[in-house]
Amino acid sequence: MGTLSLNDFQDVKIPAPWGHISGRWYGNRTERPILAIHGWLDNLGTFDRLIPLLPDYLGVLCIDLPGHGRSSHIQPGMCYNAFDYVFIIPRVMKEYGWRKVSLMGHSLGAMMCFIYTSLAPHTVDMVISLDKLLPTSSPRSNQLEHRAQKMERHLIEEDRQEKVNLHEPPSYSYAQLCKLLAKGSSDSVTPELAKHLLYRQVTKSQLYPDRFFFSRDGRVKFYNVPHIELGLAEEMARRIQRKPYLIIKGSKSIHLPLDQCKGTMSILSHNNPHYEFYEVEGTHHVHLHAAEECARFIVPFIRHHRPPILTSWSLAGKEAKLSLTERRREQEKYLERSRNNRSKL
């Protein structure tokens, strides 16, 4: 049993009323894959370093959210909303005829996974959440001011886009784009890792050789994020019940504040032997710059809750009785194998 290859994929386009959702289906395409959803302003390239560490018996379908990567932008005059993004999950399920879904999300994608799982827990068999659970809250006065500013900036962006048909957007050298992306992520994505995101969100300039401009929808920068009150968040967690739920937090990240999420996570973990939480050294994009450490926990979780199809009853029994101690050993062994594999790349 090996690991996935970044070269073994099929590009997909999932039709939508506003255009299409772009994606890449890595590995096994004969069974239901894990649906992987990236974070705000990112694209499916965010999983590039994690994909080659995952087991190859199960495929992974990574998608670009609307307005991101190579997916279609929504119509002029509309705005992006985190709750609206949640509807992407059942749309993908309907396209492929899935009755169940396995979810892996980072940041906005992780928030989508939590919201969807609370709404339709009977359709979800496991969740992998990377450095996000709920929208980060702030004082209500600040929320109103922030929303007012975003509304104004969204309208300015709409006016700018109307003029783009006449004038090409500002373009930059590739090195400049790497630095801009790093700055925009508050250095969570280093310039060296920026390449994993840039190849799906820039377009070559027609005016200046060797220069590029961002092709994602500028309106996504001002998307609406719902504020979820503590009581509502806890009720959502109760609906999820004993669902297999893995949460990985970046140690240097502010996007999974334990003081705000403690109650919700406590409910998720209550009487739930399938709940796991780990903190990995790193920033918000911990799955990108610390992929091996994240895989140390993700791979055993996948193997336990989406095991390979077994033909031997004795092997099936062994898989079912796999203890937590044995899983820890599996994690250590896998980490060592993955490091050896990556050294050969």
Closest residue by Cα to residue 293 from 276, 280, 278: 280
Task: Tell me how many helices (H) and strands (E) the chain has.
Answer: 12, 10
Question: Which residue among 107, 118, 185, 253 is the active-site one?
Answer: 107
**Residue that is written with structure tokens 């994608």 in the block:** 109
Domain limits of the chain? Answer: 9-137+227-344, 140-222
- Cα separation, 248 vs 286, in Å, equals 9
Residue 131: other Cβ atoms inside 10 A: 28
Q: pLDDT of 125-152, one tens digit each?
A: 999 999 999 987 665 557 778 888 888 9
Pair of tokens at residue 115: 């919201």
pTM of the model: 0.88
- Cα separation, 75 vs 77, in Å, equals 6
Beta strands in the chain (DSSP E): 9-16, 19-26, 34-37, 60-63, 101-106, 124-130, 202-204, 212-214, 245-250, 275-280
107 is catalytic: yes
- Position 73 scores a pLDDT of 96
- Cα separation, 196 vs 189, in Å, equals 10
**Rounded to the nearest 5°, which phi and psi values hold at 305?**
-100, -15
- Cα separation, 211 vs 172, in Å, equals 5
Find the farthest-apart pair of alpha carbons in the chain and give their distance in angstroms, rounded: 68
Q: Which region holds residue 320: left if phi is over 0, alpha if psi is between -120 and 50, else beta?
A: alpha
- Cα separation, 51 vs 46, in Å, equals 10
CATH number of 9-137+227-344: 3.40.50.1820
Look at residue 197 and give its three-state secondary structure: helix
Task: State in Å, rounded, how far the first CA of the chain is from the last one.
Answer: 18
Averaged pLDDT, groups of 10, the chain, 345 residues long = 93 97 97 97 98 97 98 94 96 98 98 98 98 79 80 87 75 96 95 96 92 93 88 96 97 93 95 97 97 98 91 44 54 58 48
Whole-angstrom CA distances from 15 to 28, 88, 162, 216 are 22, 11, 25, 18
